[in-house]
Amino acid sequence: MEYRRLGKSGLQVSVLSFGTWVTFGKQIDNSLADQLISTAYEAGINFFDNAEIYARGKSETVLGTILKSKEWPRSSYCLSSKVFFGYEEGRPNQIGLSRKHIVEGCHAALKRLQVDYIDLFYCHRPDKNTPIEETVWAMNTLIQQGKILYWGTSEWSNDEIMQAFVVAERYHLIGPSMEQPQYNMFERTKLEKDYLLLFRDYGLGTTIWSPLSSGLLSGKYIDANPTNTRLNIEGMDWLKERTLGDSSKLDKTKALYELANQLGTSLPKLSIAWCVKNKHVSTAILGASKVEQLKENLGALEALPLLTSEVLETIETILQNKPVQPLY
């Protein structure tokens, strides 16, 4: 396993990490969840990603119970939670980034995870109705209290993150250390274009999500319609539409699949390696509903040396979606 600094922070995260969205507390049973966590930890993964909204708190409860049973040193892994969407029914103050929901959300996540502190705590989305000062102060207070160690954002725009840095500087508070954007071969703009100044001037780290575009870049949807996948779970029609709705993505996936074969690797390995090839990626969060998937994906680092400039050019020719770089 390779470890990278979370941006300019002192924290080291494994370049491949593991997340529980859709799977824990929902798609898979707890004994399979336990096997996945053990497989990840034994491979050197030291960051497990979670959020209050994942299975409305159940995902954190499952992960907390598993970690408690392992008796691994708390210092040997990092845990995250994310606040915004809420874990309750969504009455006023049960969602958003007010001081009240941030503090209550943190306390509830600590209980579900059965830990004294959360290493990485995220604002899961921007809250247009709460002053940014209130959010930054609340995060800073949680750090001062030792309840969280680093705070960050997820799917915030460049301007919103910049505002958080400005507020932190104005009041001498601790600003965000990381952002969690979607990043994969089909979703590139934030990481490759929008955030460039944040990387250069603020040393922002990133913990990127859906490196396989919810399984599309595993190749299993090429000429096939597997039914035992997250896209077929009740209530996930929106994700199915977002993932499979654009047929050009399937054509590109097919071409990438053939390229991976020519290179003697697999498409999931190639796709994940492509993500972590980008030096602005601190860690790519893997997801898996089966142990075999996770084992396969953990092999992605073997594919890194295959990504020569020539191969990267071939990938660009297939994708045709390289964000246009600004002129600075």
Neighbour-count burial of 116, counting CB atoms closer than 10 A to its CB (0-12 exposed, 13-18 middle, 19+ buried): exposed
Using CB under 6 A, pick the residue from 209, 221, 257, 274 that binds ligand NDP: 209
Neighbours of 311 (CB within 10 A): 16
Nearest C-alpha neighbor of 216 from the set 187, 178, 179: 187
Strands 47-49 and 16-19, by their bridges, are: parallel
Using CB under 6 A, pick the residue from 11, 215, 273, 298 that binds ligand NDP: 215
253 binds ligand NDP (CB under 6 A): no
Instruction: Pick out residues in 294-313 that bind ligand NDP (CB under 6 A).
Output: 296-297
How many residues make contact with ligand NDP (CB under 6 A)? 28
60 binds ligand NDP (CB under 6 A): no
288 binds ligand NDP (CB under 6 A): yes
Minimum distance from residue 170 beta carbon to ligand NDP (Å): 27
Neighbours of 85 (CB within 10 A): 17
Task: State the amino acid at position 291 in one-letter form.
Answer: V
Helix (H) or strand (E) run with residue 121 in it:
strand 118-123
Using CB under 6 A, pick the residue from 9, 77, 289, 303 that binds ligand NDP: 289
214 binds ligand NDP (CB under 6 A): yes
287 binds ligand NDP (CB under 6 A): yes
Residue 239 DSSP symbol = H
Catalytic residue IDs? 54
Q: Is 55 left (phi over 0), alpha (psi -120 to 50) or beta?
A: left
Residue 171 structure tokens: 């009041």
Using CB under 6 A, pick the residue from 67, 293, 300, 303 that binds ligand NDP: 293
Residue 232 structure tokens: 């077929």
x/- track of binding to ligand NDP for residues 217-246 (CB under 6 A): -x-x--------xx----------------
Q: Provide the residue count of the chain.
A: 328
Instruction: Pick out residues in 262-281 that bind ligand NDP (CB under 6 A).
Output: 268
In the complex, the residues that contact ligand NDP under the rule CB under 6 A are 19-21, 23, 49, 154-155, 180, 209-215, 218, 220, 229-230, 268, 285-289, 293, 296-297
